[in-house]
Structure 1
Amino acid sequence: MKIHIWNAFASNNSGSYTIVGRFEKEEQAARVAAELKEVLDAHGVWWETAYSALKEHERPSPLDVFIQKHGLTGGENIGSYDDWSSSSGKPAPDVWALGHQVLIHHDYTITLPRTLGEFIYARGGRVETELDHAHHPVVSVFELWKNQHGQEETDRLLAALVEELNAEDGPLATGINWDVPPAWKAGHGFGEPLLRVGAAFEELVSSYGAVERIARAHDLYVAVKVFEAWPDADPLAFLRPCQPPLKRERFDVWLLGLGDKPEEVKRLLRDQRPLTYEEVCTLQGAEPIVAWKCRPLAQAEELASGLRKLGASVDVRPTTFT
């Protein structure tokens, strides 16, 4: 008889915050992003200095001044306490422009000031999406658009895009939350983008920039939609099977057994992703699990090598796309 005891602790006090605004012109989006970045960075320094020293905050804050200057709605606790990130090690949210859109994201906060959406509207834009306190991965679906062109040209362009996005150093191979494997699908018919590309990125700014650089190199413009993944479901199922298919193979790392140093193996795994309770039970029942899915060969071999050095039994197998 085997007895398994499982102990776990979870905290649910903070999530991520994302807001997406849209403007008629790219120049407008770039200006608004620059204005917001300047004030939010300054406000982050103000809050972090006082918060770390446990001092009473002296008002007005940089955000208070910004609100007054632009005739926005103020408030006693705007940009402080639960209205600002206090313990993430990241003093201010990221702000950047993507074509006609402005994006603001913080990966760990209760919420962020309502000023963000209000300023987008005040500058003539619209708020497309606000994800307030998301606890599950933020999924990004990019739409890559191009003017009318012939089918032969389209096929070549789609094949090139998919290979570049999935290159060893491409955005769909690096910086990915692998709980949500990336996916893509070519558009068909009037009003459809050339290609839709979906992924859950660990760090949005650099990954968005990489997607945009590849798109613009092919004279495409990009728009993005974001949403929070639901647990125990594939949020990108509507983009599978991926089309056009990827020419280069991807690989899964199968964990067949923990070996005689299971705790060390689990510690190494935690750097990539912790095992679930169900996966631990499966392994203890001598059944293999897929520890990592759909990785480039070099990544898969590196992960497998680290596990083997600790005595784990591991196999690298080609990914079967469904």
Structure 2
Amino acid sequence: MKIHVWNAFASNNSGSYTIVGRFEKEELATQAAAELKEVLDAHGVWWETAYSAMKEHERPSPLDVFIQKHGLTGGENIGAWDDWPSFSGRKPAPDVWAIGHQVFVHHDFTISLPRTIGEFIYARGGRVETELDHAHHPIVSIFEFWKGEHGQEETEKLLAALVDELNAEDGPLVTGIDWNVLPAWKAGHGFGEPVLRMGAAFEDLPAGFTAVERIARGHNLYLAVKVFEAWPDADPLAFLRPSQPPMKRERFDVWLTALGDKPEDVKRLLRDQRPLTYEEVCALQGAEPIAACKWRLRGKAEELASQLRQAGASVEVRPSTVT
């Protein structure tokens, strides 16, 4: 008889924050993103230095100075404690970047971020399109690929090239997705439609966005992006399935059916992919299989399966069922 005892602790006190602003001209978006990045990075250094040294935060902070300079609304708790990623332990400041006419600010672990960000976007003549404050579910991004003035490539060939590049071995839909929300896409039809609509949830938002933008610009296309928080127990991209045009290469999932005699070795190996949850470990103990990873090209799926088998686990490689 084997007895397994598990001890786990989980904290769920912080979510992600995302805000999207839009400007009439790309240059204005680029400039606003640069100004926001400069002050938020400086404020992150200021906060982290004082906090790590357990010293009193001396005011004015970089954000205080920025607020005064632009005539924005100040306050004692702006950019402090719950208004800043104080306990993230990963990034001292949010990421800021621009794509086309849009500005994006995002942090993956914070109670909230200063209202100064949205206020500055309006002060600069832009509009806030979306604010996702304290989101606990994946952030889903819908990319619309539009033809610009020089986008003369034949649509059918263009769509095939886009889908192929997005799903290449080093493409953004292979290397960087949160596979709790598998990507999907659909070609546009008729007047007023983008060439392609693609939806994905990225583990690293700025890296995913940058990779998609690079592919779009390579085909003289411009992007418009919408973001929203996925809702639990539902497929937020069902409206884009089945994906068209289809992928050239099939995707596969790696299913773990038993941890074997050396469960710690298997879990250690899986940490590079993702840690197992308490519920998943319980499922395995009850002989219920779990997905160790999803949406991989066959070679990568077989490689991981082989490593898990060598560690003593029982593994199956199955075709992905969502397309």
The 3-state SS of whatever aligns with 1:272 is coil
1:86 has 2:86 as partner? yes
1:310, distance to aligned residue in structure 2 (A): 1.0
Q: Which residue of 2 aligns with 1:35?
A: 35
Map 1:205-216; keep pairs closer than 5 Å.
205-216=206-217
Moved more, 311-320 or 195-204: 311-320
Map 1:234-313; keep pairs closer than 5 Å.
234-276=235-277, 279-313=280-314
Extract unaligned runs of 5+ from structure 2: none
Q: Which residue of 1 aligns with 2:161?
A: 160
Matches of 2:152 and 2:314 in 1, distance apart? 48
Render the CA deviation track for 1:211-250: whole Å, top value 9, x for unaligned: 0010011110001111111122222111111111001121
Q: Kindly tell me: are residues 50 and 151 of structure 1, through their superposed partners in 2, closer, same or farther at Cα, counting changes over 3 Å?
A: closer
Q: Which residue of 1 aligns with 2:108?
A: 107
**1:188 aligned partner, one-letter code:** H
Q: Which residue of 1 aligns with 2:222?
A: 221
Q: Kindly tell me: are residues 219 and 74 of structure 1, through their superposed partners in 2, closer, same or farther at Cα, counting changes over 3 Å?
A: same
Contact 2:8 2:278 in 1 (8 A): no
Matches of 2:14 and 2:87 in 1, distance apart? 10
Q: Kindly tell me: are residues 148 and 59 of structure 1, through their superposed partners in 2, closer, same or farther at Cα, counting changes over 3 Å?
A: closer
Q: Kindly tell me: are residues 23 and 317 of structure 1, through their superposed partners in 2, closer, same or farther at Cα, counting changes over 3 Å?
A: same
Q: Kindly tell me: are residues 70 and 148 of structure 1, through their superposed partners in 2, closer, same or farther at Cα, counting changes over 3 Å?
A: closer
The 3-state SS of whatever aligns with 1:107 is strand
Contact 2:148 2:220 in 1 (8 A): no
1:120, distance to aligned residue in structure 2 (A): 0.2
Moved more, 311-320 or 262-271: 262-271
The 3-state SS of whatever aligns with 1:35 is helix
Q: Which residue of 1 aligns with 2:24?
A: 24
**1:120 aligned partner, one-letter code:** I
Render the CA deviation track for 1:17-54: whole Å, top value 9, x for unaligned: 11000001100000000010111111111111111111
1:66 has 2:62 as partner? no
Contact 2:151 2:220 in 1 (8 A): no
Identity of aligned residues (%): 82
Render the CA deviation track for 1:120-139: whole Å, top value 9, x for unaligned: 00000000011111111111
Q: Which residue of 2 aligns with 1:117?
A: 118
Render the CA deviation track for 1:108-150: whole Å, top value 9, x for unaligned: 1111100000000000000001111111111111110115999
Matches of 2:180 and 2:274 in 1, distance apart? 8
Question: Could you tell me the TM-score, scaled by structure 2's length?
Answer: 0.92
Moved more, 240-249 or 142-151: 142-151
Q: Kindly tell me: are residues 242 and 71 of structure 1, through their superposed partners in 2, closer, same or farther at Cα, counting changes over 3 Å?
A: same
Q: Kindly tell me: are residues 147 and 56 of structure 1, through their superposed partners in 2, closer, same or farther at Cα, counting changes over 3 Å?
A: closer
Contact 2:145 2:216 in 1 (8 A): yes
1:47 has 2:41 as partner? no
1:82, distance to aligned residue in structure 2 (A): 1.1
Matches of 1:120 and 1:244 in 2, distance apart? 37
Aligned pairs, number? 322
Q: Which residue of 1 aligns with 2:231?
A: 230
Moved more, 274-283 or 311-320: 274-283
Q: Which residue of 2 aligns with 1:142?
A: 143
**2:175 aligned partner, one-letter code:** T
Render the CA deviation track for 1:226-284: whole Å, top value 9, x for unaligned: 11111222221111111110011211112232211223323433442344555445434
Extract unaligned runs of 5+ from structure 1: none
Moved more, 131-140 or 114-123: 131-140
Render the CA deviation track for 1:48-100: whole Å, top value 9, x for unaligned: 11111111111111111110110000001111111111122311111110110
1:304, distance to aligned residue in structure 2 (A): 1.3
Matches of 1:250 and 1:72 in 2, distance apart? 50
Q: Which residue of 1 aligns with 2:10?
A: 10
Matches of 1:92 and 1:149 in 2, distance apart? 37
The 3-state SS of whatever aligns with 2:248 is coil
